[in-house]
Each structure stands twice: as structure tokens, then as C-alpha cells.
């Protein structure tokens, strides 16, 4: 089998919690938010890994740390055979072009004072890949490619002239203009109307085919994950609790948390609700992580073992891993 394009090993990101002056004087030790607490995964060329979890689970930090937009606390990131974890800014530059990010909020990720055509041409100029005229031409083509036509007209518009769905198309065009090999899409459709999500996902899918592009697709919506991901990783409080092929994870979720997530998703096709695995409460704060299995305070199946020992990821089915003492089978 070929080398994965991206390999992430035991990645950690801890953020120090600010101490007040009194705490500092009393030498109260600095505490840390363990946003990402040792995650490992691989993504092959052309593969989409869906990273699923609730707010506060660390999925966004994970995505940014992988791209080194946030510096990791520990662990290794290997991109196309090169360990990029410790590269300097200068050394990282050629990799930046090959790895892009699409943010959640199409309202704040575009400069309000830049014409959208110029915004799409901009990365080409920054990376010295095209002269001004050529960049403009490529940007026009890109506008057409993402469905913002007539492209000449759209080129001169400003973000505030566009709807949320149209802006997200611009954001995607801007990321795609460099023909990246890997993209982190962070809640790329969450702020868009449900009715528009399918068309944005289709657009991303078409770029994956054209560029053989890999994606880390971060979302809280497992139904969106189903549409786009080849494999799904479920994150809870900084850890991956389950990872496997999309179909397999959705049909036979092994972690109680995954099952709860699946059952909480509203659905038209499943009108009459099945019996639920009830979980209550919300994701705890990542400063005070529960002992043992992090999910045990909310888990209906938790026992003494779960409170004491943290479960490791083990393979329950081919390529399907779960970190649970009592996996559902």
C-alpha cells in the first residue's frame, strides 16, 4: 500500500489557562486546557477523513494544529514523507501551498474591502505562481468553476453583495486556486442553510476528484460526515474515541458516544424514533478531564473499570477502532 499523504502521531495541544495576579504571586501552578490530548490518524491521497464531535471536543484545534497554524505541544505531523512538525516558517512555506484550510464562517474569512475576484487571485500572487494578468484570468476561471457566473460580473463584487452560500463558494475557490493536495475543511457548511449544504459538498467533492485531494473534514453534523467522508473519526474531549470506515461506523457504532450522536441527529427518513441510548449533560471543560474513560460521567454503561482506567483504541472490526471498555456489538 502507498504511503499516506498525511500521518499524525500522538498529536497534543495544551493551552495554558491564564492565572490572575494573585494566583501568580501565590505560585499556583499553571493549569492547561488539554484541547487535543494525543490523537493519531492517517489520510491517504484522495481520501476524506471526517472528524466529528461536539463543540469543545478539540476538533478545530486538531485541524489547525495539523496545518501548524497552531504550534503543537507534542507529537509528529508527517506530510508526504516529510516531518513538518519542527520546520521553520521559511521551510514550511512550500508546504503551505499544498495544504489549505476552509473556515466555517464565510462572513469573517473574507476581507470586506477586497473584491472577491482579487481575493481568489491573491494566493497566486503571494506564492509567486502567476503575474497579475494571469492571476486574474485564473481567478475568473475559478469563479466559473465554483458556479459564480457571469464571472466577469462576480469578479468585481464585494463579499457583502453575496449570500452566505455564495461567500462560501468564494472561500472554496480561494483555497482551491493553489491546487492543494490536502485541505482542512472546518465546519465548511455549518453556517449555511441546510438546503444549500448539498451543493457546497458537491463542489468540494468535484475538487477532490479533479485534484485527487485529501481532506480532513471537521463537522459536528454526522449526517454531513456521512455524505463526504470515506472514514469517520469521532472525537471526545481531546481524544479520538472511534475511527473507521464511514459505513461501518454509522451502521455498527461501537462507542456509546458515537451511538448517542447518531441517534440525536434529526432525520426525515427515520420518522418513528427507535429506542434511544440516553446520554445527558454536556461536554465537560477540558481543564478538569474526568479520570479513566473521559466519557464515563455521561455514559449509561459506565462501571468501576471505566472510572479508573482509560481505554485504548482497539480494533473491533477490520480498520474499525474504538476506545471503550464495553464496546457495543
Partner 1 sequence: MLLEVKNLSVYYYTLSGVVRGAEGISFSVREGEWITFVGESGSGKSTVAHAVMNLVPSPGRIVSGEVLFNGRNLLKLPGEELRKIRGKEMTMIFQDPMTSLDPLRTVGDQMVEAMTVHGVEEAEAKRKAKELLERVNLPGDRFNYYPHQLSGGQRQRVSIAIAMAFRPKLLIADEPTTALDVIVQDSIMDILNGMKEEGTSIYFVTHDISLAVERSDRIAVMYAGKLVEVGTVDQIVENPLHPYTKALIEAVPDLWKEGKVRAIPGYPPDLRSPPSGCRFHLRCPYAEAGLCNIEEPEFREVEKGHFVACHFPGVWRK
Q: Could you give the strand order of the β-sheet that contains 82-83, starting from the edge strand earlier in sequence? A: 32-43, 6-16, 74-79, 82-83
* Of 1 and 269, CB closest to partner 1: 269
Binds partner 1 by CB under 8 A, chosen from 6, 260, 293, 306: 260
Return the range that interacts with partner 1 (CB under 8 A); candidates 38-46, 87-95, 162-170, 306-314. Answer: 162-170
In the complex, the smallest distance separating the C-beta of residue 224 from partner 1, rounded to whole angstroms, is 5
Is 46 among the residues that bind partner 1 (CB under 8 A)? no
Distance CA 7, CA 217 (A): 15
* Of 270 and 309, CB closest to partner 1: 270
Alpha-carbon dihedral 158, 161, 165, 166, rounded to 10 degrees: -50
Is 166 among the residues that bind partner 1 (CB under 8 A)? yes
Is 193 among the residues that bind partner 1 (CB under 8 A)? yes
Binds partner 1 by CB under 8 A, chosen from 10, 17, 24, 55: 55
Return the range that interacts with partner 1 (CB under 8 A); candidates 24-32, 59-67, 90-98, 187-195. Answer: 187-195
Beta strands 99-102; 182-186: pairing state: parallel
* Of 138 and 196, CB closest to partner 1: 196
Distance CA 252, CA 52 (A): 16
- Binding track over 114-153 against partner 1, x by CB under 8 A: ----------------------------------------
Q: What is the 3-state secondary structure (H, E, C) of the chain?
A: CCCCCEEEEEEEEEEECCCCHHHHHCCCCCCEEEEEEEEEEEECCCCEEEEECCCCCCHHHHHHHHCCCCCCCEEEEEECCEECCCCCHHHHHHHHHHEEEECCCCCCCCCCCCCHHHHHHHHHHHCCCCCHHHHHHHHHHHHHHCCCCCHHHHHCCCHHHCCHHHHHHHHHHHHHCCCCCEEEEECCCCCCCHHHHHHHHHHHHHHHHHHCCEEEEEECCHHHHHHHCCEEEEEECCEEEEEEEHHHHHHCCCCHHHHHHHHHCCCCCCCCCCCCCCCCCCCCCCCCCCCCCCCHHHCCCCCHHHHHCCCCCEEEECCEEECCCCCCC
Binds partner 1 by CB under 8 A, chosen from 89, 271, 275, 329: 271
Return the range that interacts with partner 1 (CB under 8 A); candidates 4-12, 32-40, 95-103, 259-267. Answer: 259-267
In the complex, the smallest distance separating the C-beta of residue 266 from partner 1, rounded to whole angstroms, is 4
φ, ψ for residue 27 (rounded to 5)?
55, 35
* Of 279 and 328, CB closest to partner 1: 279
Is 250 among the residues that bind partner 1 (CB under 8 A)? yes
Binds partner 1 by CB under 8 A, chosen from 93, 132, 179, 270: 270
Biggest CA–CA distance in the chain, Å, is 67
Return the range that interacts with partner 1 (CB under 8 A); candidates 27-35, 36-44, 61-69, 161-169. Answer: 161-169
Total residues in contact with partner 1, by rule CB under 8 A? 39
In the complex, the smallest distance separating the C-beta of residue 280 from partner 1, rounded to whole angstroms, is 7
- Binding track over 83-112 against partner 1, x by CB under 8 A: ------------------------------
Binds partner 1 by CB under 8 A, chosen from 70, 125, 138, 279: 279
Region 194-213 residues binding partner 1, contact defined as CB under 8 A: 194-199, 201-202
Residues that bind partner 1 in the complex, under the rule CB under 8 A: 54-55, 163-166, 193-199, 201-202, 220-224, 226-227, 250, 260-262, 264-271, 273, 279-280, 282-283
Amino acid at each position: 500500500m502507498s504511503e499516506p499523504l498525511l500521518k499524525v502521531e500522538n498529536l497534543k495541544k495544551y493551552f495554558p489557562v491564564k492565572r490572575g495576579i494573585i494566583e501568580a504571586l501565590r505560585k499556583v501552578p499553571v493549569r492547561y486546557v488539554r484541547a487535543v490530548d494525543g490523537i493519531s490518524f492517517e489520510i491517504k491521497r484522495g481520501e476524506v477523513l471526517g472528524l466529528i464531535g461536539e463543540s469543545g471536543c478539540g476538533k478545530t484545534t486538531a485541524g489547525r494544529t495539523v496545518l501548524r497554524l497552531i504550534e503543537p505541544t507534542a507529537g509528529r505531523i508527517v506530510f508526504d514523507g516529510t516531518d513538518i512538525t519542527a520546520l521553520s516558517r521559511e521551510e514550511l512555506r512550500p508546504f503551505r501551498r499544498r495544504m489549505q484550510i476552509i473556515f466555517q464562517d464565510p462572513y469573517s474569512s473574507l476581507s470586506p474591502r477586497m473584491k472577491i475576484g482579487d481575493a481568489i487571485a491573491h494566493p497566486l500572487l503571494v506564492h509567486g505562481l502567476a503575474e497579475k494578468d494571469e492571476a486574474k484570468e485564473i481567478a475568473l476561471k475559478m469563479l466559473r468553476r465554483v458556479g459564480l457566473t457571469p464571472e466577469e460580473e462576480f469578479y468585481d463584487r464585494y463579499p457583502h453583495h453575496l449570500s452566505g452560500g455564495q461567500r462560501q463558494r468564494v472561500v472554496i475557490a480561494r483555497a482551491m486556486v493553489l491546487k492543494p493536495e490536502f485541505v482542512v475543511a472546518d465546519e465548511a457548511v455549518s453556517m449555511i442553510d441546510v438546503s444549500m449544504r448539498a451543493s457546497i459538498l458537491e463542489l468540494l467533492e468535484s475538487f477532490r476528484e479533479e485534484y485527487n485531494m485529501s481532506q480532513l473534514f471537521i463537522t459536528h453534523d454526522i449526517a454531513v460526515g456521512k455524505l463526504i467522508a470515506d472514514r469517520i473519526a469521532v472525537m471526545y474531549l481531546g481524544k479520538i474515541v472511534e475511527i473507521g470506515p464511514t459505513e461501518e461506523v454509522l451502521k455498527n457504532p461501537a462507542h456509546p458516544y458515537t451511538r448517542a450522536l447518531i441517534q440525536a441527529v434529526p432525520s426525515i427518513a427515520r420518522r418513528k424514533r427507535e429506542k434511544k441510548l440516553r446520554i445527558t449533560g454536556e461536554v465537560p471543560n477540558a481543564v478538569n478531564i474526568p479520570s479513566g474513560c473521559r466519557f464515563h460521567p455521561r455514559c449509561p454503561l459506565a462501571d468501576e473499570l471505566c472510572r479508573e482506567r482509560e481505554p485504548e483504541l482497539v480494533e473491533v472490526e477490520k480498520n474499525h477502532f474504538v476506545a471503550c471498555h464495553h464496546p457495543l456489538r
